[in-house]
């Protein structure tokens, strides 16, 4: 007899295994289906966005579909990592992974089917409205080439008011505090900057400082920033001051000098209460304060007798003039006719901006892309629609204009704009970093352009440029290339960004002020869906552990996590090990992790290797001394930024060579190399910073065939140096930009030829040469791309200015540590046509320096440090119209005395942009324990021959 119950159990087990096998075999088909579905979803979202549906129901469907799209991407990530690439060699684990992925796929497909059924029910009001809409896309040209950060470009009206403000600022008899007060978007900062840069103001005061306060101010940071700008030569000492020392030092400098300090965008009286003891009171002060605020009570709280300037809104004529100036293209457009109808529409639209300059400029950004009359008519109708809400009544229509500018963005630009909301208020955002982040999240696709940083850069810059053309961001351009260097937000535009990011569930921001709000990452948006936060931007105070629990599983769907420390003092915010391990365990789908300016324990733990889907990891300016070898698990990583604090002296594992998808690698500025770091397998690298030939074999560079930007420290013998330079010159076709620090003595004819070969590299941008040079090659031997040159210990006997002044694109020149050992230097007419910064330090034999008329026409900053025999600054210096700052450091008393005499004699003949600062830097004593190997690393970076051999062997 047999046990019927046992037979039944076996039969049930057999059926279960059979069904499981069938289920597992079908998962790959489900993956193919879901791949096709994600393509259809993306097309739907793009079509829906292009037609801007007005129905709340449809907008809710779109939000649900966008949520599904995120989950589909996660499933595909897991399938590729755990099944296709077979990270787990165990068949049992692989089947478990496949089973779990199959369940997730089945659940997502079920959600998609549910959404489709709901949409079909309302097809007449929803889908047909989307599908039958006008889907024609606008291919606008870049019609303007100006940006909102340029003061003169955007300034219309109020000229008399500015002149009155300037007259009061330079009158020492009455006011000490000047306040510009008014609503957001009124142009308070523009007016302040107009007065601040006025030539009469610049010649009246001796020192200047501009501080942006904003809503999340830190008293110490503000005081340090102001004091550093008033006394830049004391930067190092200021960074080490205690809070009470900062207050006292800032108070004293305002008593010694005539300072103008701008406190821009003060939001509360609490700020002034925290810093007021650093500012002298009463009319006896030699210095003055210019502040901007939206609140009048802030002005009267700071000084009841202040000069209160309340800018008016632009009148109708001024508003139209500003719109006309910014909206019409600066190129001839045949079908653009500025007729009465166009002017009528423009004046109707601009009237809704309430005379607010920011609103007018943003509106102009819209209209500049739509030069035809029928396009202006449609914009006018849309403007009426978006301004009919509550915000129009409360803010004079500005939020309506800003919201309309967002709705008008093309589909692919909206996430680019919303991404800017991740960064803290008033932070300058690096354009290159932004492009890398967009690429990491798939906003810029690298598919089909593998290893092509050019494609990523060009797409990113085109997107950012278009946002700037619409006046939605303010950008700063690189002087040497004209490309976008950085960007930042106006407060009101940032508010719009955060509002839309919240509305679309794109981003969640958390700050110390809102810590009481739940950090849980799920938010119930509707009765039918629960939407998950995908990006976190957290501004943390000292206690990082207060922000989230180490075992909170609600973070497993977060794609990007940014942690910004609120404190920026001498020591970084502590990041406890258990919290970091919890982050690595619970944020399982992270693509982006930004952890800058934090202090970790000595070793960054191996849990970092759990974040297997990371594309971007930045630990810049953080402090730790060893990176775990588990970083080699991050196979998808595109950008790794390890530019930690200099004194961290970081040890790197050779597992970095496993990161085959790495495109951007920023190595630490100081390495501890117990073995050679092999970088040759990183064949897709496009940017490599801080490469050091004492840490990695120099021939590794030869194998990085896609390298486009290289920054390196070279310590090589003559044959190696020649081999390296010839390779970079002749065989690196993609290399576009190089920067070198080179330790070498160019004595023999062969070595001088090597120097000529180096200087002739067409991609050479920055060069720091440390070591003797018998003679500089002629100017035609130098790269035409060279923008920054530093010479140290060169021992040049002939005047280097004769040759260097002919370099056409040189922006910065530093001669240090007896780079020149002669007695006389001369800058000739038309010499140094673009030079902005000139530093002369430690030229111990220099006695005379002449600057002839027409030389150094663009010089802004001059520093003379420890040139003990120099008798006087050149007489020609007073004719340099653009000079703003002259720093005299560690010079003899008789030199300073003669300098002061010349200032008094020439003061009324020339309008100085900024008076000479003759304060000496005080000697600083470092109270720091530095180990032998660490100190060796510091010396090695400065001058390697001084490092003891026993330290090199460690």
Residue 627, strand partner residues: 604
643-679, pLDDT tens digit by residue? Answer: 988 777 788 888 999 999 999 999 998 877 667 889 9
Domain boundaries, the chain: 12-131, 158-309, 409-505, 507-599, 805-923, 925-954
Task: Find, among 826, 750, 753, 744, the residue nearest to 792 by Cα.
Answer: 744
Q: Where are the alpha helices (DSSP H) in 205-332?
A: 219-230, 235-239, 243-256, 269-275, 296-302, 316-327
Q: How far is CA 257 from CA 10, 211, 470, 498, 894, in A?
A: 94, 18, 42, 42, 21
- Only one residue has tokens 């021939």, namely 699
Integer Cα distance of 88 and 100 in angstroms: 14
Pairing of strands 764-770, 737-743: parallel
The 3-state DSSP class for residue 350 equals helix
Q: How far is CA 912 from the centre of its chain?
A: 32
Strand ranges across the sheet with 259-266: 207-214, 259-266, 288-293, 177-181, 307-309
Q: CATH classification of 158-309 is 3.40.50.300, yes or no?
A: yes
Asked whether 567 and 592 are in contact (CB, 8 A), the reply is: no
Query: In the chain, which stretches have pLDDT less than 70?
Result: 1-155, 157, 283-284, 329-338, 384-398, 400-401, 445-454, 512-531, 542-554, 567-573, 673-674, 731-733, 900-954
- Only one residue has tokens 């951007």, namely 664
Beta strand spans in 639-782 (E):
639-641, 664-666, 687-692, 709-714, 737-743, 764-770
What pLDDT, on the 0 to 100 scale, is given for residue 52?
54
φ and ψ at residue 544, rounded to 5 degrees: -65, -35
- Only one residue has tokens 């629609």, namely 385
The 3-state DSSP class for residue 517 equals coil
φ and ψ at residue 713, rounded to 5 degrees: -105, 120
What pLDDT, on the 0 to 100 scale, is given for residue 937?
39
Q: How far is CA 680 from CA 227, 714, 931, in A?
A: 46, 17, 31
Q: How far is CA 6 from CA 10, 11, 13, 16, 510, in A?
A: 6, 9, 10, 15, 58
What pLDDT, on the 0 to 100 scale, is given for residue 392?
41
What pLDDT, on the 0 to 100 scale, is given for residue 384?
64
Asked whether 261 and 280 are in contact (CB, 8 A), the reply is: no
* Angle formed by the axes of helices 4-51 and 91-121, nearest 10°: 50
Asked whether 789 and 814 are in contact (CB, 8 A), the reply is: yes
What pLDDT, on the 0 to 100 scale, is given for residue 527?
32
What pLDDT, on the 0 to 100 scale, is given for residue 442?
87
Integer Cα distance of 925 and 735 in angstroms: 43
Asked whether 742 and 725 are in contact (CB, 8 A), the reply is: no
Listed in sequence order, the residues at least 6 apart from 637 whose beta carbon sits closer than 8 Å to its beta carbon are 614, 615, 616, 617, 659, 661, 662
Listed in sequence order, the residues at least 6 apart from 919 whose beta carbon sits closer than 8 Å to its beta carbon are 231, 233, 234
Asked whether 568 and 561 are in contact (CB, 8 A), the reply is: no
711-735, pLDDT tens digit by residue? Answer: 999 989 889 999 998 888 876 668 8
Integer Cα distance of 366 and 364 in angstroms: 5
What pLDDT, on the 0 to 100 scale, is given for residue 607?
85
- CATH code for the structural domain at 409-505: 1.10.10.10
């Amino acid at each position: 007899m047999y046990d019927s119950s046992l037979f039944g159990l076996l039969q049930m087990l057999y059926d279960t295994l059979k069904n499981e096998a069938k289920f597992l075999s079908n998962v790959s088909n489900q993956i193919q289906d879901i791949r096709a579905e994600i393509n259809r979803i993306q097309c739907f979202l793009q079509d829906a966005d292009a037609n801007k549906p007005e129905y709340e129901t449809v907008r809710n469907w779109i939000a649900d579909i966008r949520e599904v799209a995120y989950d589909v991407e996660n499933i595909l990530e897991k399938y590729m990592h755990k099944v296709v690439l077979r990270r787990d060699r165990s068949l049992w684990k692989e089947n478990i992974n496949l089973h779990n992925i199959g369940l997730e796929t089945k659940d997502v497909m079920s959600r998609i089917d549910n959404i489709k059924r709901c949409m079909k029910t309302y097809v007449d009001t929803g889908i047909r409205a989307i599908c039958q809409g006008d889907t024609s896309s606008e291919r606008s040209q870049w019609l303007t080439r100006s940006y909102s950060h340029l003061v003169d470009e955007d300034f219309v009206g109020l000229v008399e008011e500015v002149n009155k403000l300037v007259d009061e600022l330079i009158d020492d008899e009455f006011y000490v505090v000047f306040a510009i007060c008014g609503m957001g978007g009124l142009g308070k900062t523009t007016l302040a900057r107009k007065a601040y840069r006025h030539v009469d103001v610049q010649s009246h005061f001796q020192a200047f400082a501009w501080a942006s306060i904003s809503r999340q101010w830190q008293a110490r940071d503000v005081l340090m920033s102001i004091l550093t700008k008033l006394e830049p030569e004391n930067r190092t000492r200021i960074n080490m001051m205690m809070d009470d020392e900062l207050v006292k030092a800032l108070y004293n400098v305002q008593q010694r000098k005539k300072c103008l300090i701008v406190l821009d965008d003060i939001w509360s009286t609490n700020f002034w209460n925290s810093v007021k003891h650093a500012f002298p009171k009463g009319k006896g002060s030699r210095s003055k304060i210019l502040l901007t605020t939206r609140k009048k009570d802030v002005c009267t709280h700071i000084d009841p007798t202040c000069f209160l300037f309340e800018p008016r809104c632009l009148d109708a004529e001024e508003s139209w003039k500003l719109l006309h100036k910014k909206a019409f293209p600066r190129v001839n457009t045949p079908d653009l006719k500025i007729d009465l109808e166009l002017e009528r529409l423009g004046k109707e639209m601009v009237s809704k901006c309430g005379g607010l300059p920011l609103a007018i400029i943003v509106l102009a950004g819209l209209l500049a892309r739509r030069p035809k009359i029928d396009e202006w008519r449609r914009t006018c109708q849309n403007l009426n629609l978006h301004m009919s809400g509550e915000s129009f009544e409360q803010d004079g229509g500005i939020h309506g204009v800003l919201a309309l500018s967002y709705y008008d963005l093309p589909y692919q630009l909206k996430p680019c704009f919303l991404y800017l909301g991740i960064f803290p208020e008033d932070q300058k955002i690096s354009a290159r970093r932004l492009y890398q982040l967009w690429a990491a999240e798939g906003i810029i696709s690298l598919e089909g352009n593998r290893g092509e940083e050019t494609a990523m850069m060009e797409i990113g810059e085109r997107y950012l440029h278009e946002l700037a053309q619409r006046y939605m961001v303010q950008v700063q351009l690189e002087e040497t290339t004209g490309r976008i260097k950085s960007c930042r937000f106006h407060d009101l535009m940032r508010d719009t960004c955060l509002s839309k990011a919240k509305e679309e569930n794109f981003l969640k921001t958390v700050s110390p002020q809102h810590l009481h709000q739940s950090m849980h990452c799920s938010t119930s948006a509707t009765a039918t869906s629960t939407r998950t936060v995908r990006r976190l931007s957290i501004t943390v105070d000292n206690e990082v552990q207060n922000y989230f629990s180490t075992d909170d599983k609600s973070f497993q769907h977060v794609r990007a996590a940014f942690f910004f420390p609120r404190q920026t003092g001498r020591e970084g915010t502590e990041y406890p090990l258990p919290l970091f391990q919890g982050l690595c365990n619970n944020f399982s789908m992270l693509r982006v992790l930004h952890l800058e300016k934090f202090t970790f324990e000595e070793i960054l733990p191996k849990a970092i290797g759990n974040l297997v889907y990371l594309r971007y990891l930045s630990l810049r300016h953080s402090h730790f001394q060893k990176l775990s070898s588990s970083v080699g698990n991050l196979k998808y990583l595109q950008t790794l930024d390890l530019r930690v604090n200099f004194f961290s002296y970081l040890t790197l594992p050779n597992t970095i060579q496993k990161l085959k998808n790495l495109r951007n690698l920023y190595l630490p500025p100081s390495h501890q190399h117990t073995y050679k770091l092999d970088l040759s397998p990183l064949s897709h690298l496009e940017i490599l910073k801080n490469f050091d030939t004492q840490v990695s074999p120099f021939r590794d560079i030869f194998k990085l065939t896609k390298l486009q930007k290289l920054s390196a420290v070279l310590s090589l013998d003559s044959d190696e140096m020649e081999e390296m330079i010839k390779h970079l010159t002749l065989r690196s076709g993609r290399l576009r930009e190089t920067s070198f620090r080179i330790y070498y003595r160019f004595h023999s004819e062969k070595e001088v030829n090597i120097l000529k070969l180096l200087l002739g590299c067409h991609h050479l941008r920055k060069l720091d040469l440390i070591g003797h040079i018998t003679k500089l090659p002629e100017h035609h031997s130098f790269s035409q791309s060279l923008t920054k040159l530093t010479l140290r210990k060169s021992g040049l006997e002939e005047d280097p200015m004769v040759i260097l002044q002919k370099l056409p694109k040189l922006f910065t020149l530093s001669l240090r540590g007896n780079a020149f050992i002669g007695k006389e230097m001369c800058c000739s007419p038309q010499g140094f046509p673009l030079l902005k910064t000139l530093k002369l330090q430690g030229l111990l034999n220099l006695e005379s320096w002449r600057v002839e008329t027409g030389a150094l026409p663009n010089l802004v900053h001059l520093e003379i440090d420890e040139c003990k025999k120099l008798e006087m600054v050149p007489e020609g210096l007073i004719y340099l119209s653009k000079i703003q700052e002259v720093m005299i450091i560690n010079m003899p008393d008789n030199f300073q005395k003669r300098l002061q005499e010349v200032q008094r004699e020439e003061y009324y003949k020339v309008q100085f942009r900024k008076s000479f600062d003759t304060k000496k830097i005080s000697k600083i004593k470092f109270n720091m324990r530095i180990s032998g190997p660490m100190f060796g690393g510091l010396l090695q970076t400065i001058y390697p021959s001084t490092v003891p051999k026993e330290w090199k062997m460690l």
